[in-house]
Structure 1
Amino acid sequence: MSRILIADDEESMRLLVARAIAMDGHEIMTAEDGSEALEILVEHAGRFDLLLTDIKMPIMDGIALALAAARDFPDLTILLMTGFADQRERASGLDAIIHDVITKPFSVVDIRNAVANALAARKRD
């Protein structure tokens, strides 16, 4: 299956999303913030199929992470998550580098569908 990196500063959200996505057989790695996620991407030479990141995080937010990841690993599919309308607006100009933004709170079915759609779009490209 696919390799997915999840970045979210809320441990409960990281665990929920990781468990939900793992149900579909994906290999999951997690990071507590954007800086740690970028380190993982570099350490693994960007060999992930999807970066799923929260927008609002300390140290390095999801938008800064998405910009760095898209610059360094242009084939990486990026899916953002947020529970804040203003953060969603910040992401609206990133259509060229992100697949979509999923709004929190979401159900397990919602996140699994969003990931499946992002991975399907990756295969079409």
Structure 2
Amino acid sequence: MVRILLAEDDKATRDVIARALEADGHSVTQTLDGQEALDRLAAAPGGIDLLISDVEMPGLDGVTLAERALAAEPRLKVLLISGFSGGLERAERLKGPAVRSVSKPFTLDALRSEVRALLG
């Protein structure tokens, strides 16, 4: 079972993503923002396999969250999601085999495909 940490400030989007990934057999922990996600990561070192984060969130944004999370947990995989092209442009500096991105709106099939690609 893959352990996923989901940081998304929009409740409806967060719920849909979580339900879809849980239906696929993953364990999903939901957080409302980047700081809460970072706190969860710190509380469970090595306990998360995949971070899925919205790029644009109040407070600690998804790109900064991903940078800090990868610094603390280099084996972590990251999927960034954004409804703004500028948000994903900012995420380009994180590109690598462990980091992928998807633009909103996306289909659940597209999200699942990105998750599978990251997890191998």
1:26-41 equivalences in 2 (<5 Å): 26-41=26-41
Aligned residue type for 1:60: L
Other-structure match for 2:109: 109
Are the aligned partners of 1:4 and 1:28 in contact in 2 as well (CA < 8 Å)? yes
1:30-109 equivalences in 2 (<5 Å): 30-96=30-96, 98-109=98-109
Q: Once the two structures are superposed, what CA deviation does each residue of 1:10-58 show, in whole Å capped at 9, x if it has no partner?
A: 0011101001111110001011000000000011114111000000000
Shift, 1:66, TM fit = 0.4
Question: CA 1:118–1:42 in 2, change beyond 3 Å: closer, same or farther?
Answer: same
Show structure 1 runs of 5+ residues with no match. Answer: 121-125
Other-structure match for 1:3: 3
Cα RMSD of the aligned pairs, angstroms, is 1.2
C-alpha distance in 2, partners of 1:82/1:97? 19
Aligned residue type for 1:36: E
Which secondary structure does the structure 2 equivalent of 1:60 belong to? coil
